[in-house]
Chains A and B, each alone.
Chain A
Amino acid sequence: GENVEQHPSTLSVQEGDSAVIKCTYSDSASNYFPWYKQELGKRPQLIIDIRSNVGEKKDQRIAVTLNKTAKHFSLHITETQPEDSAVYFCAASKRALTFGSGTRLQVQP
């Protein structure tokens, strides 16, 4: 089955800096790669997703890149703000989603 690895497990940045979270996947058949943000005590919320026919997707301060050959994808957050502090999960799927173990992002004011 699919295996998703996510790095780093924790990330601390200064407000206004950029943050990058990286994931690798094992199943070349996976073609859907969402990113979720989870605030403390709340459900995961989809923030951006990408399909394998696209190399990059951007939504305001958030962007995701996908390298199918290397089987890795990354989340980029620019101009970070304190409200970006949360746990971020990547996932990969063809049918069922397999999640990475999460990255705790702390944005220091």
Chain B
Amino acid sequence: EAQVTQNPRYLITVTGKKLTVTCSQNMNHEYMSWYRQDPGLGLRQIYYSMNVEVTDKGDVPEGYKVSRKEKRNFPLILESPSPNQTSLYFCASNNFRSGDTDTQYFGPGTRLTVL
């Protein structure tokens, strides 16, 4: 089954304790991205990756890191989490059709609470 998976689904942590949220897709997609979703603010892109070893900042990258060592995996790293990073996080992936965006698939989401 074609899918995007994320782990963990729920996480409660404390300020300053490094954490990683994993994301994996089995569709051989080139493009992967991370979004955060806050009430009233829709989906805001944190980072994206066009392919292996190619990553770039989205609209709200401060406080986050990513890596793309393999095509299928795109982990999101919070080196020193703060309460303002409490949010719902979605990983997504898609391919390109003739160089343009094709259907984007979302992971199930990770609800993060930073105390």
Say what secondary structure dominates the interface of chain B: strand
How many A-B contacts at CB < 8 Å in the complex? 54
**Residues A58-109 near B (CB distance < 8 A):** 89, 93-102
Residues on the B chain within 8 Å of A102, using CB: 42
Counting chain B residues whose Cβ lies within 8 A of the other chain, the interface size class is 20 to 34
**Residues B54-79 near A (CB distance < 8 A):** 58-59
Q: Is the CB of A46 within 8 A of B43?
A: no
- Quick one: closest B residue to A6, CB to CB? B42
> Given A42-B109, A44-B90, 6 other A-B contacts at CB below 8 A?
A1-B59, A34-B104, A49-B103, A97-B33, A98-B45, A99-B43
Binding site for B on A (CB under 8 A): 1, 6, 9, 31-32, 34, 42-46, 49, 51, 89, 93-102
Whole-angstrom CA separation of A46 from B44 in the bound complex: 17
Residues on the B chain within 8 Å of A34, using CB: 103-104
